[in-house]
Chains A and B, each alone.
Chain A
Amino acid sequence: MSSRRSFLFYLPETSPFLHVNAISKLTLVLAVSVAALSILDFGFNLVILLFTTALLFVARVPLKNLRMWLYGFAFMLIFLTIMYTLLSRVPGQVIYFTFPWGTFISENTMTRALSVAFRIWSMIFVALMFLSTTTDTDVILALAKLRLPYTLCFLVSLSLRSVLIFSDDWRTILEAYWSKGVDVDKGGLVRRLRNYVSVTIPLIVITLNKVKEVDFAAESRGFRLGMRGRTYIDEFQWNPADVFITAGSVLAIAVVAVLAFQGRLSVLSIAV
């Protein structure tokens, strides 16, 4: 089965979201984020989380590739539970325990902690769907379609590519240290920070050399500030699915905005 490389990993060509343009997907990310941030309610936030989880399945994102993020989810749940137990003042009918510093545990404390976790994770899952089904070329085409200046498109594109390039350089430098028997992760905090300096100085020197090379390459290919009329080898396309996703997302944002305007919900719910 053929696959395509996105920002995060290879995805099967059968993934429907690979054929959706980046503007539609970004509108969907925005709609989910606005909805998640607008209402802090256990049921509502759980529904949004389930919706974004379903999006990941529809996008055919391999579960094994999400291991790191799922660990993060578990870690965050533990952290939020501890924080809300020790340092929150969520009102409720029954106060189970009051701490000497004034915070307390009520019957609503854990529900609130879970709602916040669902809220954050629904936004992260939809962003994951975007990153795992989108290439840097898609983003550049979308930015160009939105008529943003080419300099900005170039800046974003080169930044995204640089992360991948310098990740390899970073690993090479670390491997060079390991091959000499130096483990930079050993020792106390100060020792490890000092080790960090010795690893990052070569990376910065490599980077500074590459800046001049890339600048020379870009300028020799005609890149200049404020350039207009740039053409692209790939074409930006609108399919029926794009129209459907964009229209649905804009509608969802509009509904939330109207409800917020009528005072029926606050755009950002303060948790304290």
Chain B
Amino acid sequence: MTSSQREIRVKRGVTPLHIVLTAIMAGVLGVMILYAAITTTIVPGVAAVYPATAFEVVFGCWFGVWGGIAAYIGLIIAGTYAGWFPLPLGIVLALSDFSAAVIPAAAFRLLKGDVGLKGGRDWAIYIVFGIVLSTVPGSIYYNLINLYIGWIPSWEAFWVGVISWNLGNFLVNTIIGIPLLKVVTPYVKRAGLYVEGWFS
């Protein structure tokens, strides 16, 4: 066992490192959301291809609930800054991105999968919970709120929004999420930043 691995085992419980990690990841997600060049829209207020989702899912896999909090704060900051939604509405809407990060995080922790996608079981967990299911609840929630405030005009537009949201996210979670997990996970673990449980 190397000294860095020994350090990871010693540091149990929530530490200031987790707060710093969450804040900085929220900042990075903010940058990804703001400068995602491929953001396209089918219904108002809903990005059909939204690359930042892949990072939210991956951060959830690596950092557990902290990844979810980072996704939540990142979307509020970037969305308010870019004028996508007003601040009070952002506080409500950003729960969708929190769920996108926490669903795969929960799946990997409850089913004891390896986020480095080492075996068939890990792949199955990522495909089901990281690619297919991660954004479904969030997409329904986000579009429902948009429907209530009139941003989306009807149930027809609601379903167009939900379906395009999820199809776009299947794509980005596959093309961006898989290489990130395969390539960067060993680095995250070596750096001692990987969160094994929900919070620590």
* A positions within 8 Å CB-CB of B: 7-8, 29-30, 33-34, 37, 40, 68-69, 72, 76, 79-80, 83-84, 87-90, 101-103, 112-113, 115-116, 119-120, 123-124, 126-128, 130-131, 151, 154-163, 165-167, 169-170, 184-185, 189-190, 192-194, 196-197, 200-201, 203-205, 207-212, 214-215, 218-219, 223-225, 268-272
* A194 CA to B88 CA, complexed, in Å: 35
User: Is A159 a contact partner of B23 (Cβ separation < 8 A)?
Assistant: yes
Question: Number of B residues contacting the other chain (C-beta, 8 Å)?
Answer: 65
Contacts A88-B157, A272-B153 known; 7 new A-B pairs at CB < 8 A: A112-B153, A159-B73, A163-B78, A184-B37, A193-B51, A201-B184, A208-B188
On whether the beta carbons of B26 and A170 are closer than 8 Å, the reply is no
Contact among B35, B36, B153 for A271, CB-based, below 8 A? B153
Q: In the bound complex, do residue B89 and residue A119 qualify as a contact, i.e. CB atoms below 8 Å apart?
A: no
Complex: A139 Cα to B179 Cα, angstroms: 38
Q: Tell me if B14 counts as interface (CB < 8 A to partner A).
A: yes
Do A116 and B151 have beta carbons less than 8 Å apart?
A: yes
Q: List the interface of chain B (C-beta within 8 A of A).
A: 14-17, 19-28, 30-32, 34-38, 41, 43-44, 49, 51, 55, 73-74, 77-78, 80-83, 85-89, 147-157, 160, 171-172, 175-176, 179-180, 183-184, 187-188, 191, 193
B43 A83 Cβ-Cβ under 8 A: yes
Q: Is the CB of A103 within 8 A of B156?
A: yes
Instruction: Across the interface, name the chain A residue whose C-beta is closest to B36.
Output: A196
Known: A33-B89, A87-B153, A87-B156. A170 touches B35 (CB 8 A): yes
